Amino acid sequence: MVLNVIQHDLEAIKEAARIVREGGLVAFPTETVYGLAAHAFNEEAVCRLLEVKGRARGNPLTLHLASVGGVESLVEEIPEGARRLMERFWPGPLTIILKKSASVLPVVTAGLSTVGLRVPDHPVALDFIRFAGVPVVGTSANRAGRPSPTKAEHVIQDLKDLIDAVLDAGETRTGIESTVIDFSGEHPRILRPGVITRAEIEAVIKTPVEDARHSAPAREYPRYQPQCFLVYSRKPLRENSVRLQAFPPDRKILVVTLDRTLLFSGSQHIQKMVLENEDALAKHLFAILRDAEQKGFDIIVVDAIRREGKIGDALIYRIEKAAQEIWDGD
């Protein structure tokens, strides 16, 4: 069932909240990507969510709350630095991992003693969670390993008939998922880069933050993969286009680039998509991967992205995870 809430229809949001409260699964918009919600204290509902998503049992889920007030009973303690981050960045694209209390089900956290928490910055998400009246598990609403959904239709592509409702509020704003920071150990560590950068976090908590993306629980699982063969060119394609010519001419190729001057001579089978800047690419990346798949492209080549921009690092992280092949300089 698709519930259109582009006009913020409160009755539809209440209906979705009722479904979740009664143990159903509902996809909902956030500012990052669409989430899939289940009642966090209903073990059967959480198990069904893991099942329909095809989520690995070793990969923990996060809890979504309507306000900071909900955190207290779910965790052992809130360290001062974490509290400051909540005040500064919530509602917003930051997932904070803390030591969990006994009230959080082991099935949510994959048996870990910690739990991830976030208050999303989207009016529909906040009303939905508020009306549900309970914390909701809120993992990205894609089949495991697929690109995250930034439109309701992406949720439907992956999960139609498997879930009970989709709250459709149009395209999401930032297009990539939240930054994940672990505050359960001695020093804070970033487990997944996102819109909020390490420098922004360090400026708030005034202590150094380790980049631990390579030791996150999610590292071993395939991520974000479209059905097309995906290549990331670390070297700008304008200097590396000979590699494109090496694909057989019967392959339909999509080149995704920020370089509007990029030209390929005599290559009818190569289509170019130019984006304005890194923010636009972040916003549309997952939709581009899914659209290319629908349009029958065989190969997608993403042109080099600068790491310097605010979002560059988070974008490269995702593209490199999704890519089957990475072209270095040679």
- Please report, as ranges, the residues that interact with ligand TXA according to CB under 6 A: 30, 32-33, 35, 59-62, 93, 95, 97, 109, 112, 114-116, 118, 120, 138-140, 177-178, 180, 191-192, 216-218
Residue nearest to Mg ion (CB): 140
In which region does residue 23 sit, left (phi positive, over 0), alpha (psi from -120 to 50) or beta (all else)? Answer: left
- Which CB, 244 or 319, lies closer to ligand TXA? 319
Q: Which does 32 bind (CB under 5 to 8 A by kind): ligand TXA, Mg ion, none?
A: ligand TXA
Question: Considering all CA atoms of the chain, what is the largest pairwise distance in Å, rounded to the nearest integer?
Answer: 64
Q: Which does 218 bind (CB under 5 to 8 A by kind): Mg ion, ligand TXA, none?
A: ligand TXA
What is the closest distance, in whole angstroms, from the C-beta atom of residue 116 to Mg ion in the complex? 12
- Which CB, 158 or 177, lies closer to ligand TXA? 177
Q: Return the closest-CA partner of residue 69 out of 117, 122, 137.
A: 117
- Which CB, 166 or 180, lies closer to ligand TXA? 180
- Which CB, 115 or 167, lies closer to ligand TXA? 115
What is the closest distance, in whole angstroms, from the C-beta atom of residue 119 to Mg ion in the complex? 18
Q: Which does 52 bind (CB under 5 to 8 A by kind): Mg ion, ligand TXA, none?
A: none
Residue nearest to ligand TXA (CB): 35
- Cβ partners under 8 Å of residue 254, min gap 6: 228, 270, 271, 272, 273, 288, 292, 297, 299, 300, 301
Give the pairing of strands 114-118 and 94-99.
antiparallel
Q: Which does 241 bind (CB under 5 to 8 A by kind): ligand TXA, Mg ion, none?
A: none
What is the closest distance, in whole angstroms, from the C-beta atom of residue 311 to ligand TXA in the complex? 14
- Which CB, 16 or 244, lies closer to ligand TXA? 16
**HEC assignment per residue over 265-307:** CCCCCEEEEECCCHHHHHHHHHHHHHHHHHCCCCEEEECCCCC
Half-sphere exposure of 140 (CA within 13 A, CB side): 25
- Which CB, 33 or 322, lies closer to ligand TXA? 33
What is the closest distance, in whole angstroms, from the C-beta atom of residue 207 to ligand TXA in the complex? 20
User: Taking the CB of residue 125, how many other CB atoms lie within 10 A of it?
Assistant: 28
User: What's at 9, amino acid-wise?
Assistant: D
User: Taking the CB of residue 166, how many other CB atoms lie within 10 A of it?
Assistant: 28
Radius of gyration of the chain (CA): 20
Q: Give the residues lining the site for Mg ion (CB under 5 A).
A: 140
